[in-house]
Structure 1
């Protein structure tokens, strides 16, 4: 789709069922806020929704930008089997969308959980090397520090083992990393802005083009029910109180700006805007920019 002058594509790695009851078991809330959404957002019988793992591909201001490059092939995490030993045609899908790896200029990870930075690298003769040979990789300062094993106050996370060494260090060694402090202006249309809580340095990408606004929000939201109830969450936040406040402020901003929200894990149609229904925030999936 086009957002202003920007061309935006979604590049999928995989989709699998995940428990919506891990976020909320309030059936009345689900019926009210999710029941009318497309079926991937809630299967009543199983209590699951379709958890999409995808990247957003942007072409704007002469740049080709990949946001949140998923988990990657051939990785063994040992905690979440659905992510282990993947063998997906992700790079082929990226090329089909018009962005073969060598044409990518910028790679931005909203945070450094494995499913947002895995394709930073690929295996080459047993070594992890940068997937995008001509790209600058943007990392936020706080997120980089949060996962760096050299940081003595680093908070270990068994769900995310070895990701810094595998997915960040090879990029640094290749001279392709740039560590920035949000807010950071990438171009006239793109800005990295803070959105902390899910992880310490979690950030988002703001797009403003020809008067249209959109936010690539990573894991600030996992499911639309969180627009109505920002205190709801999937387990695993670094700071739940901060994550909740981030969601509240984002809901307000999305409404005030009539902006598109493009999260990292929503099922089809994967993006939308916010509205009001009986004074309660609701998700309006899809829609033309």
Structure 2
């Protein structure tokens, strides 16, 4: 496997891609390198904690002076000879998110970026929602007039059955219908009412070489996604880890985890296995560079990005 950066002319961005034989994985951030107040994500962090995290985390991901951490929201496109899959759906455009101003009524070039790498919405065969939080399902739908319709009309929308059941129950019991900042209403229900979700077991094989692994804690039915490229495994981490600073201190848990104790246990297990196997990780919230492996250091881990080769323009795979 090798990593490259690919310049996207006309949009003015560079995308990271992972190449493994006929398999291409492209990271498409729906929002990139945003400075978030550290304690809004990780309560209880002291200035000393941030300074320690600054020393051991990748450059630019922790600002102890401003007391912020950098986050991205990374969707991943997998191209194989058999299928095109999208792992997670980002924040989306045009969504009403008044309680999250940075997510509110956005207008982005996400679909233009997909088109620039040869992926039209109609080409996507599989959309996997690792969980149903608002920043992972936004591109499930796009507005047509006053109606939210599936963005990827030919895709099989996949979610763990436990995740879908949990949030459906929460929504049905809600008073205001604003479940998940409104994302259930505009990004989940329209799928249920049109093409339907393929609600599967949390360890299901979705396609050749593409399998879910249970990762509960942050959300009750969250999964991570494992891809066998033929040259090694890639693990799409969803929200099992939110930021590199958690690799150095396993006690740091995101404020938004439904079950913090279970989330910590899940994270420790996934990271330990990935480090032992040399698995390539594809984190959802890490800023670039995103593809890397873990090295174990005493009671902690360090994220080591893959060496990135010179920018390239690989021929689109699996054109159809």
Q: Which moved further from structure 2: 56-65 or 144-153?
A: 144-153
CA gap of 1:159–1:260, structure 2 versus 1, over 3 A, is farther
Please list, as runs of the form range in 1=range in 2, the aligned pairs for 1:22-41 lying within 5 A after superposition: 22-23=41-42, 25-26=45-46, 30-35=50-55, 37-41=57-61
CA gap of 1:280–1:140, structure 2 versus 1, over 3 A, is closer
SS in 1 for 2:207: coil
Name the structure 1 match of 2:28.
11
Q: Which moved further from structure 2: 39-48 or 25-34?
A: 25-34
CA gap of 1:269–1:203, structure 2 versus 1, over 3 A, is same
SS in 2 for 1:186: strand
**Residue 203 (structure 1) shift:** 0.6
Match of 2:256 among 231, 236, 249: 236
Contact 1:78–1:84 under 8 Å retained in 2: yes
Greater relative CO (CA pairs within 8 A, separation 6+): 2
Contact 1:61–1:189 under 8 Å retained in 2: no
SS in 2 for 1:206: strand
SS in 1 for 2:119: coil
Match of 2:117 among 80, 93, 97: 97
Contact 2:76–2:86 under 8 Å retained in 1: yes
For residues 23 and 60 of structure 2, what CA distance do their matches in structure 1 show?
27
For residues 116 and 145 of structure 1, what CA distance do their matches in structure 2 show?
17
TM-score (norm 1): 0.91
Name the structure 1 match of 2:197.
177
SS in 1 for 2:28: strand
Runs of 4 or more consecutive aligned structure 1 residues displaced over 6 Å after TM superposition = 150-159
Q: Which moved further from structure 2: 249-258 or 166-175?
A: 166-175
Instruction: Kindly indicate whether residue 294 of structure 2 is the aligned counterpart of residue 274 of structure 1.
Output: yes
CA gap of 1:278–1:161, structure 2 versus 1, over 3 A, is closer
Return 5+ residue gaps in structure 2 as ranges: 1-17, 310-320
CA gap of 1:226–1:288, structure 2 versus 1, over 3 A, is same
**Residue 4 (structure 1) shift:** 5.4
CA gap of 1:244–1:238, structure 2 versus 1, over 3 A, is same
SS in 1 for 2:159: strand
Instruction: Kindly indicate whether residue 257 of structure 2 is the aligned counterpart of residue 257 of structure 1.
Output: no
Contact 1:60–1:189 under 8 Å retained in 2: no
TM-score (norm 2): 0.82
CA gap of 1:20–1:260, structure 2 versus 1, over 3 A, is farther
- Deviation readout 1:147-175 (Å, 9 max, x if unpaired): 11577678999772332221122222222
**Residue 176 (structure 1) shift:** 4.4
For residues 69 and 37 of structure 2, what CA distance do their matches in structure 1 show?
6
**Residue 40 (structure 1) shift:** 2.8
Aligned residues: 289
**Aligned CA-pair RMSD:** 2.5
Instruction: Kindly indicate whether residue 88 of structure 2 is the aligned counterpart of residue 68 of structure 1.
Output: yes
Please list, as runs of the form range in 1=range in 2, the aligned pairs for 1:113-128 lying within 5 A after superposition: 113-128=133-148
Return 5+ residue gaps in structure 1 as ranges: none
Instruction: Kindly indicate whether residue 179 of structure 2 is the aligned counterpart of residue 162 of structure 1.
Output: no
